[in-house]
């Protein structure tokens, strides 16, 4: 993957590196309320540089071993979003899961779609993956629009799939088969 990709006049997408923990912490603190309805309940310890350093080290180890690709959207020195490929599986599956968020100040800007589209190109071209899966809460229409915009299709619904905001929540399941022609946006 190139060192960075320009997504807009002010925002770039790049792989996380050692030393990014403080910027990640600031993004999570700044977006704490914005992300709370969509993420697992976070302990106070999550919002420390120590916790972010530990999580970053884990994600960089996943990157080194080929089972993850942690990316961040950067506006100057601020993280304004994340896209992460995780659970990369090789062999006959050639698949991964994707998760993402966009800073509350940037929702509706098209940055999530642009970052996800580029990540899918890398998943297919650089990583040689065949399929990417994603899930959203049933009522997360914004995230569902982003997924559909970049060619994901809904494949089902999983009851009590993830514990989000302290409760087991149903999720819609999506997938994108890489190499398929992109659908025409509606």
Task: Render 115-160 in DSSP notation, one character per residue.
Answer: HHHHHHHHHHHTT---EEEEEEETT-HHHHHHHHHTT-EEEEEEEE
Joined tokens for residue 132 = 């990417």
CATH (domain of 90): 3.40.630.30
pLDDT at position 175, please? 98
51 within a domain of the structure (yes/no): yes
pLDDT at position 183, please? 52
Helical residues (DSSP H) of the chain, grouped into ranges: 21-30, 32-35, 49-65, 111-125, 141-149
pLDDT at position 1, please? 54
Q: Which residue has the tokens 């994603």?
A: 134
182 within a domain of the structure (yes/no): no
pLDDT at position 171, please? 98
10 within a domain of the structure (yes/no): yes
142 within a domain of the structure (yes/no): yes
Domain count within the chain? 1
pLDDT at position 3, please? 75
pLDDT at position 4, please? 84
Threshold 0.85, pTM exceeds: yes
Distance CA 178, CA 186 (A): 20
Distance CA 101, CA 159 (A): 22
Is the torsion defined by CA of 53, 39, 9, 185 positive or negative?
A: positive
Tell me the C-alpha to C-alpha distance, in Å, between residue 115 and each of 33, 80, 82, 95, 184.
Answer: 22, 11, 9, 19, 19
Query: pLDDT per position in the chain (186 positions), as tens?
Result: 557 899 999 999 999 999 999 999 999 999 999 999 999 999 999 999 999 999 999 999 999 999 999 999 999 999 999 999 999 999 999 999 999 999 999 999 999 999 999 999 999 999 999 999 999 999 999 999 999 999 999 999 999 999 999 999 999 999 999 986 655 444
34 within a domain of the structure (yes/no): yes
183 within a domain of the structure (yes/no): no
Distance CA 135, CA 156 (A): 10
Owning domain of residue 93: 5-177
108 within a domain of the structure (yes/no): yes
What pLDDT, in 10s, does the model give residues 126-139? 999 999 999 999 99
- The Cβ of residue 75 has, within 10 Å, a number of other Cβ atoms equal to 17
């Amino acid at each position: 993957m190139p060192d960075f990709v320009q997504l807009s006049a002010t925002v770039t997408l790049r792989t996380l590196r050692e030393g990014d923990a403080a910027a990640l912490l600031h993004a999570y603190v700044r977006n704490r309320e914005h992300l709370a309805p969509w993420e697992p309940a976070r302990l106070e310890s999550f919002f420390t540089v120590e916790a972010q350093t530990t999580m970053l080290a884990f994600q960089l180890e996943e990157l080194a071993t080929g089972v993850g690709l942690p990316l961040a959207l950067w506006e100057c020195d601020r993280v304004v979003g994340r896209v992460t490929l995780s659970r990369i599986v090789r062999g006959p599956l050639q698949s991964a899961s994707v998760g993402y968020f966009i800073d509350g100040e940037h929702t509706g800007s098209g940055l999530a779609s642009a970052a996800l589209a580029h990540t899918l190109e890398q998943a297919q071209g650089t990583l040689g993956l065949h399929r990417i899966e994603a899930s959203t809460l049933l009522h997360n229409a914004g995230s569902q629009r982003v997924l559909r915009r970049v060619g994901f299709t809904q494949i089902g619904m999983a009851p009590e799939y993830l514990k989000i905001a302290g409760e087991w929540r149903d999720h819609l399941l999506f997938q994108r088969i890489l190499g398929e022609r992109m659908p025409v946006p509606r």
